[in-house]
Amino acid sequence: MTITVLDSISNGNRSETSPTQKRVLLLKPRGFCAGVVRAIDVVKIALETFGAPIYVRREIVHNRYVVNELAEKGAIFVHEIDDVPDGQRVIYSAHGVSPAVREISKKRHLRVIDATCPLVTKVHIEAVKFAKQGYSLVLIGHRDHDEIEGTLGEVPEVTQVVSNVAEATALEVPDPTASPILPRPRSRWTRRATLSMPSSRSFQT
């Protein structure tokens, strides 16, 4: 959580303060998560260690001030991995990438630094695990978000993306009685790790 600490607090009245108290201001709706802070640090350390240029696939975080600051230090943000010259060093953003992106990086001999958030990696692993067990997946989040693209790319053949309540209402999942091996619902759902709790609650029935 990102906070700013001032010298005094007065329960809303600045005229009544105590030197032993602090006034804490919380950013709304929220500050950076640990995964984003880690990814920003990865870019800074890479620039300090290897020097510019350092290519970064997609914005390391959706924050224009942070992106501009890193760009001034020598980070080059690109939309697709194809925009990185062969053999160059590239950082994957905190939102993660699909297996297809990793394969392209390998073929083009890119020197990859993976700044994917560990929680996002866990979602990828869980998606693959459930797919191997025969489950279909419902992935909740905005379909054009970088994180959704990466997770969907793990097992696209069994994954459906749901971006709003209307899509959730119209969702059709495979018949749970179709399998003699698993006579129970064979669908699992997951959501974008960075999806806010209020947004997630809107899908509850």
Tell me the per-residue pLDDT of 96-153, one tens digit each, with 9 for 90 and over.
999 999 999 999 999 999 999 999 999 999 999 999 988 889 998 888 889 999 999 9
CA-nearest of 136, 154, 140 to 98 is 154
Distances (CA, A) of 136 to 51, 159, 188: 44, 6, 6
Residue 203 CA to residue 166 CA, distance in Å, equals: 9
Radius of gyration of the chain (CA): 21
- HSE, side-chain direction, 13 A CA sphere, residue 57: 31
State the chain's maximal CA–CA distance in angstroms. 72
Which pLDDT score is estimated for 43?
Answer: 97
- Are 110 and 158 spatial neighbours (Cβ–Cβ below 8 Å)? no
Say which residue the tokens 């995964």 belong to.
Answer: 35
Instruction: Catalogue the active-site residues.
Output: 147
Angstrom distance (rounded) from CA 96 to CA 116: 5
Q: Return the H-helix or E-strand segment holding 3.
A: strand 3-6
Strand partners, 92: 57, 114
pTM for this structure?
A: 0.75
Indicate the DSSP class of residue 108: T
Provide the token pair at 122: 């866990």
The two three-digit tokens of residue 117, written as one number: 């958030």
Q: How far apart are CA 23 and CA 14, in angstroms?
A: 10
Residues of the chain short of pLDDT 70, as ranges, are 1-19, 27-31, 175-185, 189, 191-205
CB 139 within 8 A of CB 202: no
> Residue 2: its pLDDT value, please?
40
CA-CA-CA-CA torsion sign (124, 137, 79, 28): negative
Res 61: pLDDT? 81
